[in-house]
Amino acid sequence: MNANDFEAARSALATARRSARAIAECPAAWRPVDLAEAYRLQGAVIGDLGGGGGWKVAAVTEAQRQGLGVTQPVAAAMPASRMHDASARPARLVLGDFIAPKIECEFAFQLRRDLPARRDGAYSRAEVSQAIEAMRIAIEIVDPRLPAGSGALAEVADGFNNGAFAAGRSVRDWQALDFAAVGIVLSVAAPGHAASELARGSGHAILDGDPFGTVVMLANAQPDSGPGLRAGDIVTTGSCSGAPRIPGPGFYRAEFAGLGSVELVFG
Beta bridge partners of 111: 132
C-alpha dihedral sign at 55, 56, 57, 58: negative
pLDDT band of residue 227 (cuts 50, 70, 90) is confident
CATH number at residue 53: 3.90.850.10
Percent of the chain with pLDDT over 70: 100
Selection from 229, 59, 261 nearest residue 128 by Cα: 229
Contact 159, 133 (CB under 8 A): no
pTM recorded for the entire structure = 0.95
pLDDT digits (tens, 9 = 90+) for 141-151: 999 999 999 99
Contact 156, 39 (CB under 8 A): yes
d(CA 225, CA 223): 5
Q: Which residues are within 8 A (CB) of 259 and not within 5 positions of it... i.e. 6 or more apart? A: 137, 169, 171, 182
The whole-number pLDDT of residue 206 equals 97
Mean pLDDT of 208-231: 91
Phi, psi of 80 (to 5 degrees): -60, -30
CA angle (80 as vertex; 112, 246 as ends), nearest 5: 115
Q: Judge whether residue 71 has pLDDT over 90.
A: no
Reply yes or no on whether the pLDDT at 225 is more than 80: no
Residue 224's pLDDT band (boundaries 50, 70, 90)? confident
Report the distance separating Cα 5 and Cα 239, nearest Å: 33
Domain count, the chain: 1
Domain residue limits at 124? 3-266
Q: In whole angstroms, what is the distance from residue 113 CA to residue 235 CA?
A: 13
The answer to whether 266 touches 141, Cβ cutoff 8 Å, is no
Distance CA 11, CA 32 (A): 15
